[in-house]
């Protein structure tokens, strides 16, 4: 999701607001996909009960739940000030405060992305 905002390189507040609007719409799709992924993953575990004894499967589920907890505990507190700034700021020049706030938010999102890469690697490689 950071890709939408960082790589589109918004040059003014109108473009930045638009990038965050697209990002929020993508977030809805991500939440739906993530919920379906968790449900199908647990469902496959019930189809193959021995998976609940496999380290890669248990680790993947735990990491997924940790990543899921990032939303309310880490991402939301860092995104609320940005949303307030986007709605309250009246000029067209992007304020320096945004860059400080977004850096904190995007750092947490990058950590979450690394967790998802680890989950995918565990599901493909099944190392233990």
How far apart, in whole angstroms, are the C-alpha atoms of residue 123 and residue 128? Answer: 10
Tens of pLDDT, residue by residue over 41-80, are 999 999 999 999 999 999 999 999 999 999 999 999 999 9
Structure confidence at residue 67 (pLDDT): 95
3-class DSSP assignment, residue 22 = helix
Residue of 4, 5, 66 lying closest to 34 (CA atoms)? 66
Three-point CA angle 32, 35, 37, nearest 5°: 110
DSSP state of 7: S
Structure confidence at residue 112 (pLDDT): 95
Main-chain dihedrals φ then ψ at residue 59, nearest 5 degrees: -60, -40
């Amino acid at each position: 999701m950071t890709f939408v905002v960082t790589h589109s390189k918004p040059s003014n507040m109108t473009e930045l607001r638009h990038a965050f609007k697209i990002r929020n719409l993508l977030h809805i799709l991500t939440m739906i996909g993530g919920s379906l992924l968790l449900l199908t993953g647990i469902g496959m575990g019930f189809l193959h009960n021995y998976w609940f004894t496999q380290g890669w499967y248990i680790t993947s589920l735990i990491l997924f739940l940790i990543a899921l907890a990032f939303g309310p505990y880490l991402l939301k507190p860092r995104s609320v000030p940005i949303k307030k700034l986007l709605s309250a700021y009246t000029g067209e020049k992007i304020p320096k405060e945004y860059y400080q706030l977004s850096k904190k938010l995007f750092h947490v999102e990058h950590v979450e992305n690394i967790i998802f890469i680890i989950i995918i690697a565990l599901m493909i490689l099944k190392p233990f």
